[in-house]
Amino acid sequence: MSDQQLVPLPSPEARRWAMLCHYAAFCWFLLPMIGNVLGPLILWQLKRESDPFIDDQGREALNFQITFSVWMMIAGILAWVIIGFALIPLISLVALVLVIIAGMRANEGKRYRYPFCWRVLK
Protein backbone atom coordinates (compact mmCIF):
# COMPACT_ATOMS: atom_id res chain seq x y z
CA MET A 1 0.00 0.00 0.00
CA SER A 2 1.30 3.47 -0.81
CA ASP A 3 1.81 6.34 1.61
CA GLN A 4 -1.13 8.20 0.11
CA GLN A 5 -4.52 7.74 1.68
CA LEU A 6 -7.16 6.27 -0.57
CA VAL A 7 -9.84 8.90 -0.96
CA PRO A 8 -12.86 8.06 -3.10
CA LEU A 9 -13.46 10.30 -6.09
CA PRO A 10 -16.45 12.62 -5.87
CA SER A 11 -19.44 11.57 -7.95
CA PRO A 12 -19.51 12.66 -11.60
CA GLU A 13 -22.30 15.10 -10.76
CA ALA A 14 -20.30 16.65 -7.90
CA ARG A 15 -17.25 16.96 -10.15
CA ARG A 16 -19.33 18.63 -12.85
CA TRP A 17 -20.84 21.18 -10.41
CA ALA A 18 -17.42 21.89 -8.89
CA MET A 19 -16.03 22.49 -12.38
CA LEU A 20 -18.94 24.81 -13.16
CA CYS A 21 -18.22 26.77 -9.97
CA HIS A 22 -14.77 27.58 -11.37
CA TYR A 23 -16.00 28.23 -14.92
CA ALA A 24 -18.81 30.48 -13.67
CA ALA A 25 -16.10 33.13 -13.41
CA PHE A 26 -16.57 33.59 -17.16
CA CYS A 27 -19.76 35.46 -16.29
CA TRP A 28 -17.24 38.32 -16.26
CA PHE A 29 -18.00 38.65 -19.97
CA LEU A 30 -21.71 39.13 -19.28
CA LEU A 31 -21.38 41.46 -16.28
CA PRO A 32 -17.91 43.03 -16.21
CA MET A 33 -16.35 43.56 -12.77
CA ILE A 34 -19.10 41.67 -10.89
CA GLY A 35 -20.03 38.64 -13.00
CA ASN A 36 -16.82 36.83 -12.08
CA VAL A 37 -17.84 36.96 -8.40
CA LEU A 38 -21.61 36.55 -8.85
CA GLY A 39 -21.34 33.44 -11.04
CA PRO A 40 -19.33 31.31 -8.57
CA LEU A 41 -21.27 32.78 -5.62
CA ILE A 42 -24.66 31.79 -7.03
CA LEU A 43 -23.57 28.26 -8.00
CA TRP A 44 -21.80 27.71 -4.70
CA GLN A 45 -24.83 28.89 -2.72
CA LEU A 46 -27.15 26.64 -4.71
CA LYS A 47 -25.04 23.47 -4.53
CA ARG A 48 -22.69 23.71 -1.54
CA GLU A 49 -24.84 21.55 0.74
CA SER A 50 -25.23 18.75 -1.79
CA ASP A 51 -21.60 17.58 -1.67
CA PRO A 52 -18.47 18.55 0.35
CA PHE A 53 -16.39 18.62 -2.85
CA ILE A 54 -18.70 21.22 -4.41
CA ASP A 55 -18.58 23.24 -1.19
CA ASP A 56 -14.78 23.15 -1.12
CA GLN A 57 -14.23 24.00 -4.79
CA GLY A 58 -17.02 26.59 -4.91
CA ARG A 59 -15.50 28.38 -1.93
CA GLU A 60 -12.06 28.22 -3.55
CA ALA A 61 -13.42 29.60 -6.83
CA LEU A 62 -15.19 32.43 -5.03
CA ASN A 63 -12.11 33.29 -2.96
CA PHE A 64 -9.99 33.47 -6.10
CA GLN A 65 -12.50 35.68 -7.89
CA ILE A 66 -12.58 38.06 -4.93
CA THR A 67 -8.76 38.11 -5.00
CA PHE A 68 -8.79 38.69 -8.77
CA SER A 69 -11.21 41.61 -8.35
CA VAL A 70 -8.95 43.21 -5.73
CA TRP A 71 -5.94 42.79 -8.04
CA MET A 72 -7.84 44.43 -10.89
CA MET A 73 -8.87 47.37 -8.69
CA ILE A 74 -5.25 47.88 -7.63
CA ALA A 75 -4.12 47.68 -11.26
CA GLY A 76 -6.82 50.21 -12.17
CA ILE A 77 -5.50 52.59 -9.53
CA LEU A 78 -1.95 51.99 -10.74
CA ALA A 79 -3.06 52.89 -14.26
CA TRP A 80 -2.78 56.48 -13.10
CA VAL A 81 0.97 55.93 -12.94
CA ILE A 82 1.09 53.96 -16.21
CA ILE A 83 2.15 50.54 -14.78
CA GLY A 84 -1.46 49.48 -14.34
CA PHE A 85 -1.96 49.40 -18.10
CA ALA A 86 0.56 46.55 -18.30
CA LEU A 87 -0.75 44.81 -15.18
CA ILE A 88 -4.39 44.57 -16.26
CA PRO A 89 -3.81 42.25 -19.25
CA LEU A 90 -1.18 40.27 -17.33
CA ILE A 91 -3.49 39.70 -14.35
CA SER A 92 -6.35 38.80 -16.70
CA LEU A 93 -4.24 36.25 -18.59
CA VAL A 94 -2.98 34.61 -15.39
CA ALA A 95 -6.53 34.44 -14.01
CA LEU A 96 -7.83 32.94 -17.26
CA VAL A 97 -5.19 30.19 -17.24
CA LEU A 98 -5.70 29.43 -13.54
CA VAL A 99 -9.50 29.21 -13.89
CA ILE A 100 -9.17 26.78 -16.81
CA ILE A 101 -6.70 24.62 -14.85
CA ALA A 102 -8.94 24.69 -11.76
CA GLY A 103 -11.98 23.62 -13.74
CA MET A 104 -10.08 20.75 -15.34
CA ARG A 105 -8.78 19.56 -11.96
CA ALA A 106 -12.25 19.75 -10.40
CA ASN A 107 -13.64 17.72 -13.28
CA GLU A 108 -10.98 15.08 -12.53
CA GLY A 109 -12.16 15.03 -8.91
CA LYS A 110 -9.00 16.68 -7.58
CA ARG A 111 -9.06 19.55 -5.09
CA TYR A 112 -7.46 22.64 -6.61
CA ARG A 113 -5.89 25.49 -4.67
CA TYR A 114 -5.23 28.71 -6.54
CA PRO A 115 -1.81 30.24 -6.00
CA PHE A 116 -1.68 33.86 -4.81
CA CYS A 117 -5.21 33.55 -3.41
CA TRP A 118 -6.52 35.50 -0.46
CA ARG A 119 -8.88 33.07 1.24
CA VAL A 120 -11.57 35.36 2.63
CA LEU A 121 -14.09 32.56 3.08
CA LYS A 122 -12.87 29.73 5.29
Give the rounded percent of residues in the chain with a pLDDT score beyond 90.
75
Q: What DSSP string runs through 67-82?
A: HHHHHHHHHHHHGGGS
pLDDT in tens, 81-121: 888 789 999 999 999 999 999 999 999 999 999 998 988 88
Higher pLDDT, 97 or 28: 97
In the chain, where are the structural domains located? 12-107
Long-range contacts of range 22-30, CB-CB < 8 Å, 24 or more positions apart? 22/57, 22/61, 22/99, 22/102, 22/103, 22/106, 22/112, 23/99, 23/103, 24/61, 25/61, 25/64, 25/65, 25/68, 25/95, 25/99, 26/99
Stated pTM of the model: 0.87
